[in-house]
Amino acid sequence: MEKAALLRVGVLVLVVLAVLTAVEYWVAVGGLGGATLTLLALLALAKAALIVDYFMHVGKLFQPESGGH
Amino acid sequence: MTTAIAELKYQIYNRRLGLWLFMLSDSMVFLALLAARYYMQGTHRPPEVNQPLGLVLTSILLASSFFANRADASIAHGDRAAFLRHIGITIVLGVAFLILVVAVEWPEALHFAPPSTGYGTALFSLTGLHATHVLSGVIVLLFALLKGKRGGYTAEDHFGAEGSIIYWHFVDLVWVFIYPTLYLVG
């Protein structure tokens, strides 16, 4: 992928992570009763999936022939 | 020549696999501490928890991951100047995170949740272990920065930098679960 395209995707991922964090904060402070714990867990898992997939490049683990490059 | 390239790719793959196995085993310690928090305290959270501070700490780590990713992309394209710039910003953000945890969060927490309490035990165990990971992450990023300055990485062979950056993302990943566990749940 070209550098400019990587930058665009990186900014997009950062924005999504920021929005998910803001939603987490709103869910916790707003207090959604019994659903709060479940929502917070789902939001944390979504953020983790983004970090593992995009930032940590977990997919490279399944491409031994390319060396990840 | 082709054999040498294949050998290099094989070595990089093995190093990457080793790093992931290390992170997987390391995450078990954090999982145990996260589970202990809920086992000891349920979803109880003291009302004095500094919510804005938690949000600031989270934002700092997310921003640092973005710049670490930029550093990774830069060195993969052979742009050494951008790599050094971005990894430098990542290190500064990591140090800022550490300072806030040690100089602001812990002194505050000592008043409303001393380590002798259940929540205090969870808070100081989780943030303490995480802080040591942040510190080690900053140190390995510093090594990558110094090696990068000496021209030690190329677009084809830069696993030292990439591994340091992946480890930094792992530190961020762990915080993604610590943040709601200590600051939001309850």
Interface of B with A in 125-154 (CB under 8 A): none
Among partner residues A10, A41, A58, which is closest to B70 by beta-carbon distance? A10
User: Which residues 6+ apart lie within 8 Å of A21 measured at CB?
Assistant: A47, B55, B58, B59, B62
Hey, are the CB atoms on A25 and B63 less than 8 Å from each other? no
Residue A64 lies in a domain: no
Specify the amino acid at residue B67: F
pLDDT tens for B114-158 read: 989 999 999 999 999 999 999 999 999 999 999 999 999 988 889
Domain residue ranges in chain B: 2-42+51-184
Q: How many domains does chain A have?
A: 1
CA distance A7 to chain B (A): 7
CA distance linking residue B133 with residue B31, whole number of Å: 15
- Tell me, what's the ipTM? 0.90
Residue A9 lies in a domain: yes
Q: Would you say how long chain B is, in residues?
A: 186
Residue A60 lies in a domain: no
Residue A25 lies in a domain: yes
Residue A16 lies in a domain: yes
CA distance linking residue A33 with residue B121, whole number of Å: 26
pLDDT tens for A23-62 read: 999 998 886 777 888 999 999 999 999 999 999 999 888 8
Residue A28 lies in a domain: yes
Q: E-strand spans in chain B?
A: none
Higher pLDDT, B6 or B146: B146
Which residues of A fall within a CB distance of 8 Å from B65? 14, 17, 51, 55
Residues B74-86, mean pLDDT to the nearest whole number = 95
User: Which residues 6+ apart lie within 8 Å of B44 measured at CB?
Assistant: B118, B119, B186
CA distance A14 to chain B (A): 6
Give the Cα-Cα-Cα angle B158, B162, B167 (nearest 5 degrees): 150
User: Which residues 6+ apart lie within 8 Å of A27 measured at CB?
Assistant: A36, A39, A40, A43, B184
Options 1.25.40.10, 3.40.50.720, 3.20.20.120, 1.20.120.80; CATH of B2-42+51-184:
1.20.120.80
Which residues of B fall within a CB distance of 8 Å from A26? none
Sign of CA dihedral B163, B60, B62, B123: positive
Residue of A nearest to B60 (CA): A18
Q: Give the percent of chain B with pLDDT over 90.
A: 82
Residues of the domain holding A40? 3-54
Residue A10 lies in a domain: yes
Among partner residues A40, A48, A57, which is closest to B184 by beta-carbon distance? A40
Residue A67 lies in a domain: no
Residue of A nearest to B43 (CA): A37
Hey, are the CB atoms on B13 and A68 less than 8 Å from each other? yes
Best residue of A7, A32, A51, A66 to probe chain B, by most B CBs closer than 10 Å = A51
Phi/psi zone of residue B113: left (φ > 0), alpha (ψ -120 to 50 degrees), beta? Answer: beta
